[in-house]
Structure 1
Amino acid sequence: MKCAIFCANGFEECEALLVVDLLRRANIEIEIISMNDELEVLSSHNVKVIADECFMDANFREYDALILPGGLPGTTNLQANERLASILLKHAEQGKLLCAICAAPSILGHLGILDGKHATCFPTFKDKCNGALLSEDKVVQDGNIITGKGLGAAIEFACKIIENLKDKVTADTVLKQIQY
């Protein structure tokens, strides 16, 4: 299993790095993809992160799951990338796992991927999750789509991804390891 998490300037660092940390603890390969022309990405709270690969160099056919962290203006920057939109749509058509947390489910809504799907998001982004059947739950899965409400749901969000890519036992083991 191989995953990509997309980080544009202004991403929410905890939503991204908690997911990376927990998936790696579960022995799931995950690459941080910089949306910049360089590996360095600046988070919404001015934390510099060095990504594994630049967006322009990545081969997206090899990923089993694509993950979108929230944060502003990170979400806006992700949504503005037309090539990323095309990749997300193709991934959705193939029934592969798409995951978005906080403000980022709005990107899936904008693309029509959430039409008729149960989802959750940060409360101020509800009106941007076009077509979604919205829930107040912290984490919602509908088919191949996993959404999380915000930073406070990042651990559960990551564990839902682990559960899908491996199994519930592995997700529970990771939770025990971090004393959750």
Structure 2
Amino acid sequence: MMKCAIFCANGFEECEALLVTDLLRRANIQIDIVSMNQELEVISSHNVKIIADECFMDINFNEYDVLVLPGGQPGTTHLQENEKLQKVILNHHAMGKLLCAICAAPSILGFLGLLQNKKATCFPTFRDKCTGALLSDEKVVQDGNIITGKGLGAAIEFAACIINNIQDKETAETVLKQIQY
């Protein structure tokens, strides 16, 4: 079974993180919410407290097949500034594993040079931070092993694209029907 990690730093966009987590779990995909703090509690950009499944410092990232980066501020900035996470993302990419980022978070991939000549989308005010990307206004864009989403309004389609990659289109469509999408 493929294993996913979604990274939550203080100031993350709670709906993007939890909607993706919810839909992947409905598709019977293991996804761990990973706190970037030294404790499991993480506070979102709208002051919603969640309890993560794991702490970043306790994880063996070789066990994960998919990494997901939610947006939100200052959560995206906190993720980008974490040098250990940068190394995890770069290593994951080098192995050709799936990288997924939504809203402001594609800017992290741009910062790391992973969007060079890649089709991508992001929240409009972060377009200039997606260095090297061939930017699109589409809600969800996949180019190779990178999936990007435009923002919260695209979170359902973003999650469905991840499900389609991990399992198949039929599973993604079944989950969408279950939630009356």
Shorter-chain TM band: over 0.9
CA distance in 2, matches of 1:37, 1:64: 23
Q: Residue in 2 aligned with 1:54?
A: 55
SS of residue paired to 1:79: helix
Letter of the structure 1 residue corresponding to residue 92 of structure 2: H
| Cα deviation code 1:56-107 (max 9, x no counterpart) | 0011001110000000000000001000000000100110000000000000
SS of residue paired to 2:6: strand
CA distance in 2, matches of 1:62, 1:151: 28
Letter of the structure 2 residue corresponding to residue 61 of structure 1: N
| Cα deviation code 1:120-176 (max 9, x no counterpart) | 000000000001000000000000000000000000000000000000000000000
- How much has 1:6 moved relative to structure 2? 0.1
**What are the ranges of 5 or more consecutive residues in structure 2 without an aligned counterpart?**
none
Q: Residue in 2 aligned with 1:64?
A: 65
State whether structure 2 residue 42 is matched by structure 1 residue 41.
yes
CA distance in 2, matches of 1:129, 1:157: 18
Q: Residue in 1 aligned with 2:107?
A: 106
CA distance in 2, matches of 1:58, 1:117: 29
Letter of the structure 2 residue corresponding to residue 41 of structure 1: V
CA distance in 2, matches of 1:151, 1:168: 22
Q: Residue in 2 aligned with 1:93?
A: 94
Q: Residue in 2 aligned with 1:6?
A: 7
Report runs of 4+ in structure 1 exceeding 4 Å deviation.
none
Identical-pair percentage: 78
RMSD: 0.3
TM-score by length of 1: 1.00
TM-score by length of 2: 0.99
Letter of the structure 2 residue corresponding to residue 174 of structure 1: V
Aligned residues: 180
| Cα deviation code 1:1-20 (max 9, x no counterpart) | 10000000000000000000
SS of residue paired to 2:142: strand
Letter of the structure 2 residue corresponding to residue 6 of structure 1: F
Q: Residue in 1 aligned with 2:20?
A: 19
CA distance in 1, matches of 2:39, 2:135: 36
CA distance in 2, matches of 1:52, 1:133: 35
